[in-house]
Amino acid sequence: MEKPGPTHSRRRLLGAAAATAVAAQFGIRGSSPAQSESGEPLTYPTVDPAMRASFGPVKQINAGDLNVGYVEAGPANGRPVILLHGWPYDIHSYVAVTPLLTAKGYRVIVPYLRGHGTTRFLSSKTPRNAQQSAFAVDVIALMDALKIDKAILAGYDWGSRTGDIIAALWPKRCKALISVTGYLIVNVEANKMPTPPKTEWAWWYQYYFATERGVRGLEKYRHDLAELVWRFNSPTWKFTSATFDRTAAAFNNPDYVSIVIDNYRWRLGLAKGERRYDALEKRLAAAPVITVPTITIDGARDPFTPPGNGSTYRKKFTGKYAHRTLDVGHNVPQEAPKAFAAAVVEVDGF
């Protein structure tokens, strides 16, 4: 790591002060954001919002290949924030984040990704493709349908990757970015290289889904498999059955199995994707840098968090930047909603 000079140190101090002020607005207590720069995780109490927070009615809109199910909250003229969920999760990862942001005047949109919840393909003939660029094109189409020119994008897991891609390829559509686990854009050829056995073991379901047995297993045990992944991904999160079941309802989508299987097979080079996305994937394979203002977040308890307190992907973000490590697992917005919301407000001020 490069040694910070006086100017860099001053920026860090000013950034830490701003982050502390933002956190204070949300009533966050624990370690200050400045301490995260040393590699120590910030500590926030985990919450289970199952009985305390809920969304309004799910709306539907035609956008690109999809009829997208989404929730919207906050003033119609507020600064747009699009919150993107991962797998095996759904929009309820943001059920406690959303009111914190609407209280600050943001217009919050939380869509179900393809294959989840009430989102449906408009045509039975459209391939149930789940390569990375397809999700990004879906979100751009949703923004166009909602007449949103530019938005703050925030996500984790599949949602982080989607936000990263839009920020990299369509920076004019992304005002700022929150990306959990940093830079997740996939190079399929590079992804064919093995990783240390402990890492490979954590990805067991990726290899399970490469088999027909895995397809049948996901179809039959989608609820139990997802709950097992939740517990592994977030070992300190004491979620309730009500919280999990509310999200698991989103897995009843008729395209859920096809989308999940295709996503993981595509990443392993076992599914080809569609030719119409070839040009985008070629650009993504070159690992483009992200120039928009960004805060990356790592969950200290997440088994997929890379070592080095963000150092492994730091060079991929060339705009104004900050990093946070939180003492939670993989599902950061649901495990630490106040910290996540505070990061959105902070990056909006960059």
Distance (Å, rounded) from C-alpha 264 to C-alpha 257?
Answer: 11
Distance (Å, rounded) from C-alpha 183 to C-alpha 251?
Answer: 26
pLDDT at 54: 85
Distance (Å, rounded) from C-alpha 88 to C-alpha 125?
Answer: 25
Q: What is the pLDDT of residues 54-100, one digit of tens each?
A: 899 999 999 999 999 999 999 999 999 999 999 999 999 999 999 99
Residue 320: pLDDT band with limits 50, 70, 90: very high
- Lowest-confidence range among 23-32, 122-131, 223-232, 292-301? 23-32
- Lowest-confidence range among 48-62, 203-217, 303-317, 322-336? 48-62
Residue 25: pLDDT band with limits 50, 70, 90: low
Structural contact between residues 236 and 46, judged by C-beta atoms closer than 8 angstroms: yes
Helices then strands (H, E): number in the chain? 13, 9
Tokens for 82? 């699009």
**pLDDT above 50 for 131:** yes
Structural contact between residues 133 and 277, judged by C-beta atoms closer than 8 angstroms: yes
Mean pLDDT to the nearest integer, 184-193: 94
Q: What is the pLDDT of residues 162-184, one digit of tens each?
A: 999 999 999 999 999 999 999 99
